[in-house]
A = this chain, B = another copy of it.
Amino acid sequence: MSPDYHKSSIESGIANVQNVSAAYAMWAVSAPRHFGSEATHRAKRAFMDVIACMVPGALDEAALTLRAVSSQWGEGPSTVVGQQRGQSAPLAALANGTAAHALDFDDNFDPAKAHITAVMAPALLSLGEARVKSGADILEAYIVGLQIATRVGQGLNPFHRNRGWHATSTVGAIGAAVACGRLVGLNHIKMSHCLNMSTSYAGGFMSQFGSMTKPLHAGKAAEAGVVCALLAEAGMTAGHETLDGPTGMAQLMVGPDLEELRTKAEFKREHGQTMRFETDSIGEPLAILAHGLKVKRYPTCASTHRALDGVLQLIAAHGIKANDVTHVDVYAPVSHFNNLMYRDPKDGLQAKFSMEFCVAVALQNNSVGLNDFTPDAVASSSYRSLMPHVHRHPVAKSESEFATRVEITLKSGAQHSVSVDAPKGRADNPLSDMELWDKLRQCCRGILDSTATERLAEALGQIDGPQPIATLMALLR
């Protein structure tokens, strides 16, 4: 058997291939090294946020269970958050990706319909540490990978996700692979193999939601990104029509009715989702600027966020005390209430999906944080006594048609109300840098001491600099 048999038939051929994945690969290797200060700043914020999520996430049961097993699979140079011993870059990406998504407190990216940073950042950090890359290198690779994840996500969505694919795991693997390929400097042929190979690692259904396999999806997609980049670098080949070919991702992961769906009159073109893999202007506009990321202010179901913003705004504006409240009336899209199925939550996970519990926490504490979802907190009488005051008013309109309205009635008879359209953290209403730092400190509380937290904050503040990423990662062991 000739050791060159694959090369001769595949690799030589692919150099001349002009198709979607070749075009994406070409852009990914030839995009500029600098995307401007605003794009870099946004990438830096994404890393600040996801690293904040990894710290408590690494202590979540899903992350602990994974690590109890995977830590036995060998040693290596990359940091596994919450573990002294380093591991290979793929295994560190697996563990850290699972940790990043375990609390569902990480960001979300609409064009790809994916928790994209929980996949891409762990992959880049682990690989960057193994290859002695700087934070600046990593942020640049992240922006490149995010751009291709956008094009792939726009090419498959909204129907890919709407049908039940977990895009965090499918599109996420591809974004991570391209980002990692960029980080190690693949040429355009190897980048094309890397991208095409990553479609074989795209998997995971939404029927895993509510189980530990959901955060595992982020971890395994992060691992896939590292694996595909390293295999492509070493010469592993892949098909070249795995996105748009007759047995490519669009046909198989949207459906055989792809063409119909594309032309459907009622088609919703949210976030540039056209169900076509655009190649005319791959790098423009830059997705991180045009779309941005949705950052979570609260560690709860996103359907609670507008109501919680409203409660906190009213508290701030009117100095409301929990003891003075008789009614909290929440008018919100029916879809939000459908997501919030627990009126009497029995544990922390259910409590995150309970409007009643979350609003009670906000009233009591003037904040909603990770520590409010411990078993003790969920059973606490101070929250329980407030929950009966919270009243649901489902409105038969979509999220974009109806802003959540909160009305608070006090014992004095006074009434205060506010409507919230864009929750704090959405791209058009971003958290301030200060609020992001607060989230970091909240996430580290009880896990790192204040000195360690401040050291981590300092290193994160310099993540866009030239120092090796290992300096920062060492603080997470």
Q: Please give the residue numbers on chain A whose beta carbons come within 8 Å of chain B beta carbons, in ascending order.
A: 1-10, 56, 59-62, 64-66, 68-69, 72-76, 87-88, 90-91, 103, 163-165, 169, 193, 196-197, 199-213, 216-217, 220, 230-231, 233-239, 241-242, 245-249, 251-253, 255-257, 346-350, 370, 373-375, 378
Contacts and interface: CB of A to CB of B under 8 A. Distances in A.
Contacts of A7: 61
A199 B210 contact: no
Q: Which 3 A-B pairs have the closest CB atoms?
A: A74-B74, A164-B247, A73-B88
B164 A246 contact: yes
A236 B94 CA distance: 14
A202 B208 CA distance: 13
B251 A237 contact: no
A208 B234 contact: no
A284 B334 CA distance: 48
Given A164-B252, A211-B237, A256-B163, A374 B1 contact: yes
B230 A69 contact: yes
Contacts of A201: 203, 220
Given A59-B1, A236-B216, A374-B2, A9 B210 contact: yes
Contacts of A252: 163-165, 205, 253
Contacts of A68: 234
A1 B60 contact: yes
Contact of A65 (B73, B91, B236): B236
Contacts of A373: 1-2
Contacts of A246: 164, 207
A5 B237 CA distance: 42
Contacts of A193: 211
A249 B212 contact: no
A298 to B, nearest CB: 14
Given A60-B1, A252-B165, A239 B73 contact: no
13 contacts: A1-B56, A2-B348, A5-B347, A10-B210, A73-B74, A164-B252, A200-B205, A200-B217, A201-B220, A205-B249, A207-B248, A211-B237, A213-B237
A251 B164 CA distance: 9
B375 A2 contact: yes
A3 B64 CA distance: 9
Most chain B C-beta atoms within 10 Å of own C-beta, residue among A10, A207, A220, A375: A207
Given A220-B200, A239-B209, A349 B6 contact: yes
Nearest to A353: B9
A21 B367 CA distance: 42
A231 B9 contact: no
A347 B73 contact: no
A24 B56 CA distance: 36
A6 B75 contact: no
A61 B196 contact: no
Given A2-B375, A73-B88, A199-B207, 18 more contacts: A1-B348, A3-B64, A5-B347, A6-B62, A6-B212, A10-B212, A65-B234, A65-B236, A69-B233, A74-B88, A75-B75, A163-B247, A197-B208, A197-B216, A200-B220, A201-B203, A205-B239, A208-B242
